[in-house]
Structure 1
Amino acid sequence: MAAATSMVAAAVVAGALSPATASAAPRPDSVQQSLDALVKKNGVPAALATVKGRDGRTRTYTAGVGNAATKAKVPMDGQVRIGSNTKAFTAVVVLQLVAEGKVGLDSSVDTYLPGLVRGEGIDGRTITVRQLLQHTSGLPEYVDREGILKDPKRYYEPRELLDGALAQKAHFAPGTDWEYNNTGYLLAGLIVQKVTGRPLGEEITKRVVDRIGLRHTYFPAPGDMTIHEAHPKGYQRNADGTLRDYTELDPSWGWAAGAAVSTNTDVTRFYGALLGGRLLPAAQLAQMRTTVPAEAIGTGVRYGLGLVSRPLSCGGVAWGHGGTIPGYESAGGTTEDGRAVNLTVTTIPDADTTKRVDQVVDELLCR
């Protein structure tokens, strides 16, 4: 999630992916070789992946070290911060509220947050809920990446973050263009809270996590800066090549757009349940999969409501998301026939490494 560029990690596709028990691969194979190369050639501290193959089996893999100082092993299917994958969770909750008649996709933001969204070229009366979820609102970005990296343990209230966005000028008139930003999901989270009268994290837990049994996924409570279960540490590389540990941070700045913690296996289960119709009625799932061009992410990429479709080199597409947050970057996909991949590296990589991560996901889905 940490920036719009995080979306280059996004991808995941329709199909009935049913939960499966993950098992460690017994010997090196092409997946292991790809992860090893990300560590050795691209310099990521660690790489973790969950892969569901054509045979229906789910396997987990690791490479590198889980702790750069102690050289401890990477926990198999360890918990990681999943960044902008959180957007898909938030979008599901909003669409469940749509199905319940409590939110209108084409209703204005002002319907739920009257008078809150005003600024230069910004008016909540002309921005719809759909536009928030699809990145067509024209709202400016609230994330200050450098400030977050400088002070990762600072707590932010959602309204404080929103004020930072509204102090800027609108980027375009609502519905006239597409631009990835986190501000739309900040407002989507506020709408969920206004409509339900409950904290966003509670709604995500009740409506998504508990509903489909994601045992290793959670939305951090205010002030929670830790990763609860076994996990690899997350790092950022300094200018001098050394690593800075960002494992413990306050994800409040990510909130509805990027705060969740999960495992690769739980992430694949989430998208499988979603795309298999277990979280949304057919009408709302169809809306979620109605896309607009998002070429800024990549050739042929399209964005729905918290879901990305990305063409595969072997034909067909993958649907899903992906995410970036200090210390971790995830990419993944699920195909129509149920193949699935989710891959995480324990740093925000450079552009070449991000491109290679995307290539690995494509190769694994196409093999």
Structure 2
Amino acid sequence: MPRPRSLLSLPLLLALLLAPATATATGHATGETDPVLPLLVTEGGAPAAALLARDGDRTRYTAAGRGVARADHFRAGSVTKTFVAAVVLQLADEHRLSLSDTVERYLPGLLRGPGTDGRHITLRALLTHTSGLADFTRATHGAVPLTPPQAVRIALTLPPTRPGRYSYSNTGYVLLGMVVRQVTGHSYAVEARRRIIAPLGLTGTSFPGARTSLPLPHGRAYAADGSDATALDPRVAGASGELVTTLDDLDRFYAALLGGRLLPPRRLREMLDTRTAHGSYGMGLFPAELPCGVRVWGHNGRITGSYVRTAATVDGRRVVTFRVDTTEISDPGLEPRLLAAEFCPRTR
């Protein structure tokens, strides 16, 4: 009697059961979704990955692995910097501060150390990572909850970099958070909620302060060694990386920012100007040149248990955000491949 074609061989059945699940916005498994995203699981070492693409009013959701959903809240790490930079630029447009002001004007006496003097460091230098300030996380490795003054004091014990040269430093954005409080009388979190989160209806976005738990719904988060890192004190990062958000909210935020809804044209041009950082960084945004010649703008965020990346066209019409539920992707080449697959017509 012929073997029924509906029966699968045991090896094939096991392969199907063990393969990472890939889902579209409808939640059904499909073999026609983004070809690169599952590689973040199979080759990148992430337990799960998810992506939300936005093109005008259309969205497309894709997931790979287990235990991740579109509505999940997650930690966004240094994506926080884009929010803080937008607040500072709004304050500059209101003439409540100037980007050429020094740190000393708002935080007198705070920056004094070997090779460091707040009387010669401007807010523009903080925004563009050209201040010469050491990154406090070189000492804490993002694992020690700190107050902002403590983070700055630790940075002052570390060798500074050369002022005027681009050198990524979380310390600069901690200082910008302190400046926002001095100028407005409110924390950067309060100002971001009032100026960005509430007007855009980002209902899944928050600054948790000292709250270690994530809002519901959420999946699990895993450190690089595989241990559970779902509970985390956000004060390990503060204004440089405490944000909690969702895929939908990040797409909506970057679409609004680059689309001109949060800043007037002059200030948005300043945000996108990379000359101070010699092409590496604007203000809370950085460019990426894709193999097809397309340039996208956005930011990434890495914090224990979470890695996220948002990239968008300069007009904000097309936005892609992807995330994994672990600290980093073991194969760094997968990120540019994924962005090329999303933004380059010949590779999509």
How far apart are residue 226 of structure 1 and its match? 1.0
Give the TM-score of the pair, scaled to structure 2. 0.86
How far apart are residue 32 of structure 1 and its match? 4.2
For the residue of structure 1 that corresponds to 2:30, the secondary structure is coil
Q: Which residue of 1 aligns with 2:224?
A: 237
How far apart are residue 27 of structure 1 and its match? 5.3
Structure whose CA Rg is larger: 2
Q: How many residues align?
A: 321
For the residue of structure 1 that corresponds to 2:62, the secondary structure is strand
Stretches of structure 1 that go unaligned for 5 or more consecutive residues are 1-21, 67-73, 296-300
Q: Which residue of 2 aligns with 1:265?
A: 248
Residues 89-100 of structure 1 correspond to what in structure 2 (within 5 A)? 89-100=83-94
Counterpart CA distance in 2 for 1:87 and 1:190 is 13
Match of 1:344 among 323, 334, 338: 323
How far apart are residue 294 of structure 1 and its match? 6.2
Q: Which residue of 2 aligns with 1:5?
A: none
* Structure-2 change in CA distance of 1:146 and 1:123 (3 Å): closer
Counterpart CA distance in 1 for 2:179 and 2:224 is 37
Residues 1-367 of structure 1 correspond to what in structure 2 (within 5 A)? 23-24=25-26, 28=30, 31-53=33-55, 56-66=57-67, 74-144=68-138, 148-149=142-143, 155-172=145-162, 174-175=163-164, 177-221=165-209, 223-238=210-225, 243-292=226-275, 302-336=280-314, 338-350=317-329, 352-366=330-344, 367=348
* Structure-2 change in CA distance of 1:346 and 1:253 (3 Å): same
* Structure-2 change in CA distance of 1:40 and 1:277 (3 Å): same
Tell me which of the two structures has the higher relative contact order, counting C-alpha pairs closer than 8 angstroms and 6 or more residues apart.
Answer: 1
Q: Is the 8 A contact 1:333 1:365 kept in 2?
A: no
Give the TM-score of the pair, scaled to structure 1. 0.82
Counterpart CA distance in 2 for 1:110 and 1:305 is 20
How far apart are residue 31 of structure 1 and its match? 4.0
Stretches of structure 2 that go unaligned for 5 or more consecutive residues are 1-23
Q: Deviations over 1:91-143 (max 9, x none)?
A: 00100110110110011111111111110010001010000000000000101
For the residue of structure 2 that corresponds to 1:321, the secondary structure is strand
Counterpart CA distance in 1 for 2:110 and 2:101 is 15
Q: Is the 8 A contact 1:323 1:329 kept in 2?
A: yes
Deviates more, 1:197-206 or 1:119-128: 197-206
